[in-house]
Structure 1
Amino acid sequence: MAETIWPGRSESQAMCNLYKTLEWFKNLRQKDIDIPIISKRGTIGLDSRQIYSDLWEFDTHYYNRSQLQNCQRAVELYTGSVLSGAPYDWIAAYEAYYELSCAEMLELLSQQLEKDKTGQFNFYQRKLKILTET
């Protein structure tokens, strides 16, 4: 985890940064800001049951994309490349996945709304054009 967050640092430097960050998180509790960290016997993690993630919500809507409202909500959530500009090697695959997923849902929305001749059709067509031109 430490090496992923602080690439290019030595293992000891990355671990030192991690421990300092954990201590900072613990101090936030005094200000009623709780970061749901689980730390037991040398393992560190986040209690994901206490975390909201727009990526997780996007994924839920994507997996249920057969329903028009799920496509609409997912498209609302997508605001651009995931962690755009971050220096991590693993980001590119996530950027591509979410961009392609959003494009697929925009295409589904456009197809569905074209039949209904609603004003939203043009809106989703423009969004799809912008997304696929970048």
Structure 2
Amino acid sequence: MVQEEGGQAISWRSPKVEELFAYLVCKVSVSRDEIADTLWEGFPLDKAMKNLNSTVYYVRKALQQFGMEECLITTRKQISLDTKRIYCDLYEFQQMQNLAWKTEKEMERLKEIYRGELFQGKTYEWSFAKAHTLEKNMISNLLKAGELREDQNRTEEAERMYLHALELDPYHEGASDRLLDFYNRTGRKKKEKQLRKEIGLLLSDEVPHPLLFLKKHF
């Protein structure tokens, strides 16, 4: 949700108005043609553009209630957001995502603002690729942070990082391999064996879901 940090959430007139704003949050600057093709796919161009214009009006009207209307910039061909005028946890995450694992404070902040689902679980098909990239980057940070803590002999914290990564994606091969290797190196054979069973790496007639293990130990 885009808002002033710690501020009030915006109430949208309709799901399509909210979706348009979400699309702009992701794209920042995008052509009217692309928006029409994406949000009104299959509509005749003139009708799609008419819907777009009215939806832009309601986005601006919603922002106006908070004095934020100037962050929406429109031209004949383009619609943009002035990201300097708004706070968005997505933008903060993207700014931090490459190096956050290197410092304690930034890693904790990254974990705080990453809530697992882009747009709080709203299923916009156009956002799936973006959501996958964000999850991939978060897992990468967690694994690197785990490695760093291992190097510093902070094994309990390293384990928590690896478990967190696997919780985000229980079938992530890199995360499961890293955790199994960690248990092997630190002599935690019982946990290693249990995790192997849970993620289906050992032959078994019935393999429980990996999250059963994670809920016990995360």
User: What range is the shorter-chain TM-score in?
Assistant: 0.7 to 0.9
Indicate how the Cα distance of structure 1 residues 17 and 29 shifts in structure 2: closer, same or farther if over 3 A, else same: same
Q: CA deviation at 1:46?
A: 1.9
SS in 1 for 2:139: helix
Give ranges in structure 2 of 5+ residues lacking alignment. Answer: 1-34, 172-218
Percent identical residues: 23
Q: How does 1:72-111 map to 2 (within 5 A)?
A: 72-83=108-119, 84=121, 85-88=123-126, 91-111=127-147
2:53 paired with 1:19: yes
Indicate how the Cα distance of structure 1 residues 16 and 100 shifts in structure 2: closer, same or farther if over 3 A, else same: same
Indicate how the Cα distance of structure 1 residues 93 and 44 shifts in structure 2: closer, same or farther if over 3 A, else same: closer
Q: CA-atom RMSD, angstroms? A: 2.7
In structure 2, the residue matched to 1:58 is 93
SS in 2 for 1:133: coil
Select which of 23, 40, 65 maps to 1:6: 40
Contact 2:101–2:142, Cα closer than 8 Å, also in 1: no
Q: CA deviation at 1:33?
A: 4.5
Contact 1:113–1:121, Cα closer than 8 Å, also in 2: yes
In structure 2, the residue matched to 1:71 is 107
Q: CA deviation at 1:127?
A: 0.9
Q: How far apart, in 2, do the equivalents of 1:23 and 1:47 lie?
A: 17
Contact 1:2–1:14, Cα closer than 8 Å, also in 2: yes
Q: CA deviation at 1:29?
A: 6.2
Counterpart code for 2:168: L
In structure 2, the residue matched to 1:127 is 164
Tell me the matched-pair count: 132
Q: How far apart, in 2, do the equivalents of 1:66 and 1:121 lie?
A: 12
Give ranges in structure 1 of 5+ residues lacking alignment. Answer: none
Kindly provide the CA deviation profile for residues 32-89 of structure 1, in whole angstroms up to 9, marking residues without a partner as x.
Answer: 453321124454322222122322211211232363233332232221243552132x
TM-score, length basis structure 2: 0.50
Q: How far apart, in 1, do the equivalents of 2:72 and 2:95 lie?
A: 24
SS in 1 for 2:108: helix
TM-score, length basis structure 1: 0.75
